[in-house]
Amino acid sequence: MNILLTGGAGFIGSNLARQLLKEGHQIICLDNLDTYYNPDHKWRNVQQTLNNRDYHFHEGDIRDSELVDTLFRTYAFDAVVHLAARAGVRPSVQDPALYYDVNVNGTLTLLQAMQRSGVSKMVFASSSSVYGDSPQVPFVETDTADRPLSPYAASKRAAELLCHTFHHLYGFDIFCLRFFTVYGPNQRPEMAISQFTDSILNGQAITVFGDGSTSRDYTYVDDIVSGIIRSLENLRGYEVLNIGGSDPISLADLIQVIERALGETAIINRLPMQPGDVQQTYADITKAAQLLGYQPTVRVEDGIQQFVDWYRARQDARFVMQ
């Protein structure tokens, strides 16, 4: 397949690109190397695949309709995997207009370009945050998702609705995948597991919001990549699918897992819960299992150990280079 991959220089996107290239697909990556976190991380991701003749990188913004239309005219896309987004629940509270512009208008720009060029297949990266602070667990795709707690969550839900509109109007085949807290080697540096690991190793306090009872359904990046690829292989109609680990862990227990993997003890600085945060996430993956044959394979304890091993190796490599 000839695939347009938006956000392909990021954490999930770069892992997906490498796997799709192994399977013989051609990848055209569109990424603006956003400064939400240090773009050097993304550029290093891109450099890992630049020498592959089936990989083409374009730096640019999904809101740039002229650029997007040019890509659709230049390449005969079979499908779009749309991962590009302004990330982060808490920062979205401070700048909701930016999140709506990127996540909603950017998605609309892509959908319109697809309609103009005759491309009808998309896998869209949504988020478990659309469920809000639902007390009913596990989260099922048929649950009402009309009470998001952050602009980020609301923007993802709005983009899902746009996808359904284009499915209805033009017969697009679109799967909206609700990812549940993705982690693993090379993950974004501002994410909790990265920050906790770095701070603990450096003898610094970690910031914990709340009493540690909040829980998240952490999903290892390889399982997310599997869910995306299985969606591409089964893409027909419009579906919303949970892609998660289906094994939530409390924040307090997560910290203990990281401590054991590091062989170190955390110094904890507790602060109140933050606006936009939810108490729990928990994916019911029955539908994904039935439609895609999706099953997560990496337990949190094993995934954290793999992340810690990667992190230590990266730190050792930096020391050697210095």
pLDDT tops 50 at residue 319:
no
> Tell me: the pLDDT tens digits for 112-152?
999 999 999 999 999 999 999 888 889 999 998 999 999 99
Give the pLDDT band (50/70/90) at residue 176: very high
Would residue 152 show up in a list of annotated catalytic residues for this protein? yes
Greatest mean pLDDT among 36-45, 182-191, 200-209, 228-237: 228-237
The answer as to CATH 3.90.1150.10 being correct for domain 2-180+220-244+283-296 is no
- Rounded to a whole number of angstroms, the distance between the first and last alpha carbons of the chain is 42
> What average pLDDT does the segment 171-200 reach?
94
* pLDDT-above-70 percentage for the chain: 98
By C-alpha distance, which of 16, 50, 46 is closest to 32?
Answer: 46
> Which alpha helices (H) appear in the chain, and where do they start and end?
11-22, 39-47, 65-74, 89-94, 96-100, 106-117, 151-170, 192-201, 221-233, 251-262, 286-292, 300-321
Give the pLDDT band (50/70/90) at residue 320: very low
Residue 98: how many other CB atoms lie within 10 Å:
14
> What average pLDDT does the segment 197-223 reach?
93
Name the average pLDDT for the chain: 93
Give the pLDDT band (50/70/90) at residue 322: very low
pLDDT tops 50 at residue 97:
yes
Q: Which residue has the higher pLDDT, 35 or 83?
A: 83
Give the pLDDT band (50/70/90) at residue 268: very high
Give whole-number Cα distances, 255 to 181, 188, 263, 275, 289, in Å: 15, 18, 12, 22, 30
pLDDT of residue 34: 87
Check 99, 100, 152, 294 and give the catalytic one: 152
pLDDT of residue 134: 86
pLDDT tops 80 at residue 283:
yes
> Tell me: the pLDDT tens digits for 146-173?
999 999 999 999 999 999 999 999 999 9
pLDDT tops 50 at residue 317:
no
> What average pLDDT does the segment 288-300 reach?
97
The tokens for 28 are 């055209």
pLDDT of residue 316: 58
The tokens for 136 are 């009913």
pLDDT tops 80 at residue 103:
yes
Q: Which amino acid is at 154?
A: A
* pLDDT-above-90 percentage for the chain: 83
Give whole-number Cα distances, 124 to 120, 135, 163, 211, 272, in Å: 13, 26, 8, 34, 33
> What average pLDDT does the segment 33-62 reach?
91
**Domain boundaries along the sequence of the chain:** 2-180+220-244+283-296
Q: Which of 96-100, 167-171, 275-279 has the lowest mean pLDDT?
A: 275-279
pLDDT of residue 36: 82
pLDDT of residue 274: 82
pLDDT tops 50 at residue 307:
yes
What is the C-alpha radius of gyration for the chain, rounded to an integer number of angstroms? 19
Give whole-number Cα distances, 133 to 5, 130, 170, 276, 280, in Å: 31, 9, 34, 9, 7
